[in-house]
Amino acid sequence: MADVNTSYVSDHTQWMNEQLEKNPAWVADQKAGRALWWDKKQTVETTRRNAESKVAQKPYPYDVNFYPE
C-alpha cells in the first residue's frame, strides 16, 4: 500500500493560517458571525411554524416551455 503524504498544505490554507496568526481577533469575529446567522436553538414551535409556512414547489421551475394545466 502506498504511503499517503499528509504533510501537504495548500497555498490558500497557508495564507489563511498566516492571516489568523496576524489577526487573532478574527477567530472571535468568525464565531460571533456564525452564532448570529447559523447557531440558533430551535424549539418545537419554531420547527412546526417553519414546516407549515413552506410553499409547495411547482414542477420544472426553470423550464420556460412547460405550462402545467
pLDDT of residue 18: 96
Q: How far are the Cα atoms of 21, 37, 43, 56 from residue 50, in angstroms, in the given order?
A: 40, 16, 11, 13
The C-alpha cell of 64 is what?
420556460
User: Which cell numbers hold the place of 3?
Assistant: 504511503
Average pLDDT, the chain: 85
CB distance 27 to 20 below 8 Å: yes
Tell me the whole-structure pTM to 2 decimals.
0.46
Residue pLDDT, tens place only, 22-64: 999 999 999 999 888 888 888 999 899 989 999 887 776 676 6
* 69 confidence band (pLDDT: 50, 70, 90): low
Asked whether 30 and 39 are in contact (CB, 8 A), the reply is no
How many whole angstroms separate alpha carbon 39 and alpha carbon 32? 10
pLDDT given for residue 61 in this prediction: 66
